[in-house]
Amino acid sequence: MTRPVRIVPAILTDDPQTLAKLIRQAETFTDYVQIDIMDGKFVPSRSVTWESLAGLSTKLHWEVHLMVQQPEDYLGSFKQVGALKAVFHYEATGKPEAVIGMSRQLGLGVGLAINPETPVSAVLPLIKGVDSILLLAVHPGFYGAKFIPEVLGKIAEIRAVRPDIEIGIDGGIKEGNIVQVARSGVDAICVGSAIFLQPDPAASYRRLVSLVAKTSRSAAD
């Protein structure tokens, strides 16, 4: 049986007005996005903050990807402004179990992200407590970084331990490699620059969806 693969548009900006523009664009072609948050500490770049989302009304459902140190300090604020799920980095906190527990108490879905150099073995004790795993296929913090294909080898390791968990991948994914990624066994592919930095984001999104759909059909045949 072929697992359906979702394309999740990923929004990254440091400008509140651009954030509003990207959200309005996304509303025309999807109902779910990931919003990237960066603190300039865990990663070199900075992004918008939760305050930038507080005044925005949107019909989109969204999750937040916290590329920040001490993600536990951000959970309540993002829940308050409408996040359905928080994805935090294993490398960003010394107490990941507490972050998971706090997210549950707040009613947030929980995703665990790992950087390219982090082995699956490091997070195996945590996998049963989260809803999803997000594999970073780039060193996080920038749009347009180069894809690291070796990360795809982690998927089988995770499936061997928890076959039903949602596995996502994020970073460096575009038309030229999305078919390879879709065939790797992931459930969700987060795409930023290959959608939002293109002349027509909606057309770019639909093109990526079409490529993934053809891959799924050929695998089922």
Q: What is the DSSP string of 141-195?
A: SSTTPPP-GGGGGHHHHHHHH-TTSEEEEESS--TTTHHHHHTTT-SEEEESHHH
Residue-level pLDDT at 145: 73
Element (H, E) at 52: helix 50-54
Which of 13-17, 98-102, 152-156, 217-221 comes out lowest in average pLDDT? 217-221
Average per-residue pLDDT for the chain: 93
60 close to 32: Cβ distance less than 8 angstroms:
yes
Q: Is 164 a catalytic residue?
A: no
> pLDDT tens digit string along 159-216?
999 999 999 999 999 999 999 999 999 999 999 999 999 999 999 999 999 999 977 6
- Alpha-carbon distance of 146 to 123, in angstroms, equals 24
Catalytic site residue from 170, 187, 200, 221: 170
Band of residue 2 on the pLDDT scale cut at 50, 70, 90: low
Band of residue 1 on the pLDDT scale cut at 50, 70, 90: very low
Residue-level pLDDT at 146: 85
Mean pLDDT of 76-89: 97
CATH number for the region 6-220 comes to 3.20.20.70
Band of residue 221 on the pLDDT scale cut at 50, 70, 90: very low
Q: Is 221 a catalytic residue?
A: no
Both tokens assigned to 47: 């992004």
Q: Which long-range contacts (CB under 8 A, 24 or more apart) does 121-124 make?
A: 121/157, 122/90, 123/90, 124/161
- Alpha-carbon distance of 65 to 145, in angstroms, equals 17
Element (H, E) at 79: helix 75-80
Catalytic site residue from 14, 15, 36, 73: 36
Distant-in-sequence, close-in-space partners of 45: CB < 8 Å, separation ≥ 6:
14, 38, 141, 142
Residue-level pLDDT at 26: 98
Q: What is the pTM of this model?
A: 0.94
Extents of the domains making up the chain? 6-220
> pLDDT tens digit string along 95-146?
999 999 999 999 999 999 999 999 999 999 999 999 999 999 998 766 667 8
Residue-level pLDDT at 215: 76
